[in-house]
Amino acid sequence: MEKVQSLRTISTTTKLRIAGYVVTIVVHTVNGLIMESGFYGGAMSDPGVKRYYEFRTRFITCWTFVAQIIYAALELYCEVKNIQGKKDSNIIKKNKTI
């Protein structure tokens, strides 16, 4: 079994990638929650807002949020596995082919 790298031996680029993935996940999750919370109360009396709310899952921008969160989570998982020294993980191989 290989040793886990200490925080000091991890390269700066790896640390920045991990930070970027975490920020991406947090920002998109918070943004989605804020957007969903805005569809209550007086805003729903507007017919345009009500129509948008009913069809919101059909807009491509909603799905790009989901795709970016999934991609960032997979890459974060791969970075952690690389730091742990488990570079032969199946998900890492599959992720490289995507």
Query: Which pLDDT does position 23 carry in this prediction?
Result: 96
Q: The domain containing residue 89 runs over which residues?
A: 21-97
Asked if residue 15 belongs to a domain, the reply is no
Asked if residue 85 belongs to a domain, the reply is yes
Asked if residue 63 belongs to a domain, the reply is yes
Count of domains forming the chain: 1
| pLDDT tens by residue, 54-79 | 887 777 777 788 889 999 998 898 88
| pLDDT tens by residue, 3-47 | 666 667 788 888 999 999 999 999 999 988 887 777 777 777 888
Buried/exposed 38-67: b ≥16 CB within 10 Å, e otherwise? eeeeeeeeeeeeeeeeeeeeeeeeeeeeee
Look up tokens 């569809």; give the residue: 39
Query: Which pLDDT does position 63 carry in this prediction?
Result: 79
Q: Is the pLDDT of residue 97 over 70?
A: no
Query: Which pLDDT does position 78 carry in this prediction?
Result: 84
Asked if residue 39 belongs to a domain, the reply is yes
Asked if residue 75 belongs to a domain, the reply is yes
Query: Which pLDDT does position 62 carry in this prediction?
Result: 74
The backbone region for 3, taken as left when phi is positive above 0, alpha when psi lies in -120 to 50, beta otherwise, is: beta
Q: Is the pLDDT of residue 2 over 60?
A: no
Mean pLDDT of 73-94: 77
